[in-house]
């Protein structure tokens, strides 16, 4: 796992200040070692889509492994008035939590715990900011990338967003997330070095401008890279000069060297029209195998419309609208207390709100995904209280926890738990997976979803239901607290 932060930037202190004020309060009132359970979940699917792709777990693991308060941290906190006993506790801090996560690359749905933390309240509470920062960002970008990839209908999509990302870390981890979401590579070279993601790119317009003529620029590039020659043809005029000069160089340099041209890239203008003309010109010149790449502020809707209009594009470079998820730039993941332990017994906790969407689901929970054995397709997710068992030999009644009359009995199913333990008593117990392995896993998991879940507009709403025991416990608590106010 690579570290991209200057040593003076202490990630342990990348936290909301109230995490420290609460920690100090827990410590002073003897609650710091009380065991709490926290869930991370999100409420709304970006772009009104059908799902979110879980992403960022490896970076969460890296963060938790390195939790430590330095002398510099302690010195700063002393200036903020924290007492010395608490500062001594922080100086001797040792991570001791149990942590579970749904594996990266898994499609996940609103309301279900995608990360679960059990541990001393000071520690479990303290994780909130960074867990949300990492998972919200990478899951958002992986999801957006997958939408773009699906719009491309099998054509390669390259992530080109580094220069428009909102920080160096957003560029690095956004490229990683985009690759997991299905991109074939990235322009971000550091991801090639550190994550094995194909680093891709050829030339900018400045290359063409630097030479006395477009032809000279193309010729020089072809002489340097005859085996991988892709030329940017829109610096001056795609039809009148760019493609004719590219064809001339292909014939004079690339083919005599024993290679075939890889492609051309169009970065401006009406790309649908230009790609059709380019395809005709390349075919007539004897280069039907020369690919056409399109770039320039693309997203899933523009790509879909281009293809509907017959664009002759073989691959896409997608930048700013992917790396920032500009159409929906926030995933609203939250981190909430759902239970505590008292004398070894798990006591559920609930947050109640007049905004029904903000009422939390209590208890230490498991997430099961129900698969139809005949089709292999995911039918629903069910949240249960840890310790419940599901008898796959018997029919299971699914019901909507908000509209309980919406019910469906399923048979011939397999129920798989989704949460995987990644830390036990503060020690990481899982092996790191490569970005390529996670990408392949993601593709396989998406194949378990029905096509109706993949629509851009009005996708099928995937069922996320409660077990009867969880439903009963949640509404018992709602009734109990409602009677007190």
485 confidence band (pLDDT: 50, 70, 90)? low
* pLDDT mean across residues, the chain: 96
H or E stretch at 135 = helix 128-151
By DSSP bridging, strand 378-385 and strand 315-318 are: unpaired
| Separation of alpha carbons 220 and 101, rounded Å | 51
10 confidence band (pLDDT: 50, 70, 90)? low
| Separation of alpha carbons 94 and 88, rounded Å | 12
> Into which CATH architecture does domain 151-323 fall?
Alpha-Beta Barrel (3.20)
| Separation of alpha carbons 45 and 109, rounded Å | 8
Structural domain boundaries in the chain: 11-141+329-482, 151-323
pLDDT at position 2 over 90:
no
Strands (E), 57-134: 98-101, 107-108, 115-120
User: Cα 208 to chain center, whole Å?
Assistant: 36
- pLDDT by residue (tens digit) across 183-224? 999 999 999 999 999 999 999 999 999 999 999 999 999 999
Q: In degrees rounded to 5, what are phi and psi of residue 318?
A: -120, 125
pLDDT reported for residue 107 = 98
Output b/e per residue, 127-147; b: 16+ Cβ within 10 A. bbbbbbbbbbbbbbbbbbbbb
For Cα atoms 33, 34, 37, give the angle at the middle one, nearest 5 degrees: 115
pLDDT reported for residue 481 = 83
Averaged pLDDT, 275-295: 98
pLDDT at position 269 over 90:
yes
For Cα atoms 214, 313, 438, give the angle at the middle one, nearest 5 degrees: 110
Tell me if 92 sits within 8 A of 70, measured CB to CB: no
In CATH terms, the fold of domain 11-141+329-482 is nicotinate phosphoribosyltransferase (3.20.140)
Helix axes 128-151, 168-180, angle to 10 degrees: 50
Tell me if 423 sits within 8 A of 97, measured CB to CB: yes
- pLDDT by residue (tens digit) across 364-377? 999 999 999 999 99
Strands of 333-342's sheet in order across: 345-348, 333-342, 35-42, 115-120, 98-101, 420-424, 427-428
420: closest CA among 96, 146, 175, 60? 60
Output b/e per residue, 430-468; b: 16+ Cβ within 10 A. eeebebeebbebbeebbebbeeebbeeeebeebbbbbbe
HSE of 382 in the Cβ direction (CA atoms, 13 Å)? 29
Give the C-alpha distances (Å, rounded to integers) separating 347 from 202, 206, 362, 371, 471.
Answer: 59, 64, 9, 31, 15
Tell me if 336 sits within 8 A of 365, measured CB to CB: no
Six token digits for residue 425: 């008593």
pLDDT reported for residue 243 = 98
- pLDDT by residue (tens digit) across 13-50? 999 999 999 999 999 999 999 999 999 999 999 999 99
pLDDT reported for residue 278 = 98
Q: Higher pLDDT residue, 237 or 4?
A: 237
9 confidence band (pLDDT: 50, 70, 90)? low
| Separation of alpha carbons 37 and 348, rounded Å | 9
Tell me if 37 sits within 8 A of 364, measured CB to CB: yes
């Amino acid at each position: 796992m690579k570290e991209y932060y200057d040593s003076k930037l202490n990630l342990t202190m990348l936290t909301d200040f109230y995490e420290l004020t609460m920690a100090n309060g827990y410590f002073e009132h003897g609650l710091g070692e009380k065991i709490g359970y926290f869930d991370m979940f999100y409420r709304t699917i970006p772009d009104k889509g059908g799902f979110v792709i879980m992403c960022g777990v490896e970076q969460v693991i890296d963060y938790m492994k390195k939790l430590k308060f330095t002398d510099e941290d302690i010195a700063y906190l002393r200036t903020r008035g924290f007492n010395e006993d608490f500062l001594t506790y922080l100086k001797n801090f040792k991570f001791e939590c149990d942590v579970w996560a749904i594996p990266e690359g898994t499609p996940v749905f609103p309301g279900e715990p995608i990360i679960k933390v059990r541990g001393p309240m000071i520690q479990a509470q303290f994780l909130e900011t960074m867990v949300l920062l990492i998972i919200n960002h990478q899951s958002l970008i992986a999801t957006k990338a997958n939408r773009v990839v699906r719009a491309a209908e099998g054509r390669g999509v390259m992530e080109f967003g580094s220069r428009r990302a909102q920080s160096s870390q957003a560029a690095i981890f956004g490229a990683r997330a985009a690759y997991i979401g299905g991109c074939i590579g990235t322009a971000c070279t550091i991801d090639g070095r550190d994550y094995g993601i194909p680093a891709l790119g050829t030339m900018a317009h400045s290359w063409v401008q630097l030479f006395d003529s477009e032809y000279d620029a193309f010729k020089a590039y072809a002489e340097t890279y005859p085996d991988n020659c892709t030329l940017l043809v829109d610096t001056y005029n795609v039809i009148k000069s760019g493609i004719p000069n590219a064809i001339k160089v292909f014939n004079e340099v690339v083919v005599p060297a024993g290679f075939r041209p890889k492609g051309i890239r169009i970065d401006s203008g009406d790309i649908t029209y230009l790609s059709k003309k380019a395809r005709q010109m390349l075919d007539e010149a004897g280069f039907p195998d020369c690919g056409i790449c399109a770039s320039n502020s693309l997203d899933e809707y523009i790509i879909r419309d281009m293809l509907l209009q017959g664009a002759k594009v073989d691959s896409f470079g997608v930048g700013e609208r992917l790396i920032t998820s500009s159409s929906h730039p926030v995933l609203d993941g939250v981190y909430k207390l759902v239970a505590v332990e008292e004398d070894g017994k798990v006591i559920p906790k609930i947050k109640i709100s007049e905004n029904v969407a903000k009422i939390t689901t209590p208890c230490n929970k498991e997430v099961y995904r129900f698969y139809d054995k005949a089709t292999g397709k995911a039918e629903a997710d069910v949240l249960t209280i840890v310790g419940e068992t599901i008898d796959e030999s018997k029919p299971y009644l699914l019901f909507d926890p908000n509209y309980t009359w919406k019910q469906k009995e399923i048979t011939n199913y397999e129920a798989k738990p989704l949460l995987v333990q990644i830390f036990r008593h503060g020690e990481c117990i899982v092996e790191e997976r490569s970005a390529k392995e996670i990408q392949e896993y993601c593709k396989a998991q998406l194949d378990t979803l029905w096509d109706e879940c993949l629509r851009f507009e009005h996708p099928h709403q995937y069922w996320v239901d409660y077990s009867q025991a969880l439903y009963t416990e949640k509404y018992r608590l709602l009734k109990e607290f409602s009677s007190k106010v």
